[in-house]
Amino acid sequence: MDLIASFRRTLRYSLGRQLPNLHNDRRLRRLKDIHKGRRAFVIGNGPSLKVPDLDRLTNDIAFASNKIYLAFDRTPWRPTYLTCSDSVVAQTVGPNMAALPITKIFGHSTFPYFKRHADITYCNSPSRRTDPKDWDLIKGVSTGHSVLYWDLELAFWMGIREIYAIGVDFSFEVASKATGAKAMGNDVLAAGREVNHFHPDYRKPGELWTMPQLNKQRDEFAFALEKYRSHGGVIYNASRETKLDAWPRVDFESLFK
């Protein structure tokens, strides 16, 4: 049984790498510098994210991910882009995300769960010869250890050099049980009753998720800041509450004066 499960995982990953490349690459090329000169918000789904704050972003480019749709019954706001880089999330709530009338850009590992949905653009998987520091969506990019890092790569490709992050608490309560499985190198957990997100029912007991590796995330976020700065850009942490110290802080309210 273990051999069969391993084969299936390998097959799913291989399918994710062999995307309908020509059509998909055309979509990626059309995104190059599409928002050059604009600022953008990348949205974490932490407890500090306030739905009224989303209403303030109506005129801004916004990247949001995973179960951000749980806020939609309380706000007319919608993100410019919906992202997902985690195959476990895709397997769990894929149909909910696929049904949303929002421009979707997903990681290569999610392809097996969405391959019937032609409106999704995928980022290519990096090859062994790909430099992960290039951030070239055509050659392939790493999704890192956080969808937020991946959002920064997307924004950079689109020509955005001014980034504000909100809802990035960078703190997790873990009352989950280990399943013994792994996804993308991370331990897969079965959720307990911990609350790590803006919505109390964001993750129900027993739902699978991957253990966040905060040290690796912080290193990636620090590199992202260097990448933006080397191209005249900035990344600010505008979260109302946060333990992330990789980016300079800025007051959220000051961004709308």
Lowest mean pLDDT among 101-105, 117-121, 207-211: 207-211
Residue at 101 is within a domain: yes
Residue at 192 is within a domain: no
Task: Please say if the pLDDT value at position 202 is more than 60.
Answer: yes
Tokens of 241: 């509450």
For 221, the domain range is: 2-171+213-256
Residue at 242 is within a domain: yes
Residue at 48 is within a domain: yes
Task: Please say if the pLDDT value at position 250 is more than 90.
Answer: yes
Model-level pTM?
0.88
Domain count, the chain: 1
pLDDT category, 81, cuts 50, 70, 90? very high
| Percent of the chain residues topping a pLDDT of 70 | 89
Would you state the pLDDT for residue 61?
Answer: 99
Residue at 32 is within a domain: yes
Lowest mean pLDDT among 60-64, 103-107, 136-140, 166-170: 136-140
Task: Please say if the pLDDT value at position 89 is more than 50.
Answer: yes
Residue at 197 is within a domain: no
Say which amino acid occupies 14: S
Average pLDDT over residues 191-208: 89
Residue 245, domain CATH: 3.90.1480
Residue at 14 is within a domain: yes
- In degrees to the nearest 10, what's the CA dihedral of 184, 137, 17, 61? 70
Would you state the pLDDT for residue 19?
Answer: 47
Residue at 178 is within a domain: no
Interval 108-151: pLDDT, tens:
889 888 877 889 999 987 877 778 789 999 988 888 889 999 99
Burial class (CB in 10 A: 0-12, 13-18, 19+), 231: exposed
Average pLDDT over residues 183-192: 76
Would you state the pLDDT for residue 206?
Answer: 87
